[in-house]
Structure formats: structure tokens, C-alpha cells
């Protein structure tokens, strides 16, 4: 939990159900006392700050990699038989059927749908007599 708002909601729920909070390294924190409340607020504030720092550093790291020319994200699979997929799509097969028959995840196929549609479009243009 990295938000003070969420922490306060959770602590209220714990108190409503009379649940004690026991931390392994701190021990029991009694959130019904002023001292327990301030402890939780300090812990929550540090956690929220830490989360924001992690997000900032991650963004900076990704930006630095992009600036160096690194390609981010998943590598494009080069073993997808796009011609076969296009042929199956032209024959009316659904993505689910193609996925099952070719043993390729549907999400992988759908991610490449623009390439498949381009192949279908090129084939359709060739089939139309001029």
C-alpha cells in the first residue's frame, strides 16, 4: 500500500473490525492512540515517497534507454506464418480457430492483425481483374 489515503482507509477498516496491526520489526502498532496514528502516518508517508521515487527512476531509465536507441518492449515473433494466417482469415476463419489450429496465442495473432490485413488487401487487389 503506497498511498496515504488508502492507508487511512485500511487502518479505519482494521479498527472497525478490531484487528491489531503487528509488524515483524516494529511490533504492535496501536492505531487507536495518537502515537500509533503518527507512526502509521510516518510509515505511510515514507512508503508513498518511495513509490514516487521508484516511478521517477523507472521513467528516467526508460527514457535513457530510448535515447541510446534501445528498442523497448517485447520482441516481435518472426515465426508467425502470416501468409497462412491471411489465407485462413480470407476463408472466414476466426482468430480463435486460427489460434487453436496453428497453436499460436490469439493475442499474438491479433497483435499482428494489421500485417495480416495488409496481406489480404494486397491479395484482393491482385485478384481483381483490371
The pLDDT tens digits of the residues spanning 50-108 come to 999 999 999 999 999 999 999 888 788 888 999 999 999 999 999 999 999 999 999 99
Task: Please state the pTM of the whole predicted model.
Answer: 0.54
Helix axes 4-16, 34-67, angle to 10 degrees: 140
- Does one domain contain both 12 and 61? yes
Number of structural domains found in the chain: 2
Task: Evaluate if residue 1 carries a pLDDT over 60.
Answer: no
- Does one domain contain both 63 and 91? no
- Does one domain contain both 62 and 87? no
CB distance 92 to 125 below 8 Å? no
- Does one domain contain both 63 and 20? yes
Strand pairing category for 27-29 and 21-23: antiparallel
Full residue range of the structural domain in which residue 29 is found:
4-67
Nearest to 30 by CA among 48, 45, 42, 18: 18
Task: Evaluate if residue 130 carries a pLDDT over 60.
Answer: no
- Does one domain contain both 61 and 94? no
Amino acid at each position: 500500500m503506497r498511498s496515504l489515503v488508502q492507508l487511512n482507509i485500511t487502518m479505519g477498516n482494521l479498527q472497525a473490525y478490531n484487528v491489531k496491526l503487528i509488524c515483524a520489526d516494529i511490533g504492535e502498532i496501536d492505531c487507536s492512540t495518537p502515537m500509533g496514528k503518527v507512526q502509521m502516518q510516518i510509515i505511510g508517508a515514507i512508503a508513498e515517497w518511495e513509490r514516487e521515487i521508484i516511478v521517477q527512476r523507472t521513467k528516467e531509465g526508460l527514457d535513457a534507454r530510448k535515447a541510446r536507441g534501445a528498442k523497448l518492449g517485447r520482441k516481435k515473433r518472426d515465426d508467425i506464418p502470416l501468409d497462412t494466417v491471411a489465407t485462413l482469415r480470407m476463408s472466414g476463419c476466426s482468430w480463435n480457430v486460427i489460434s487453436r489450429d496453428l497453436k499460436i496465442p490469439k493475442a499474438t495473432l491479433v497483435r499482428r492483425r494489421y500485417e495480416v490485413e495488409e496481406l489480404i488487401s494486397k491479395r484482393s487487389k491482385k485478384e481483381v481483374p483490371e
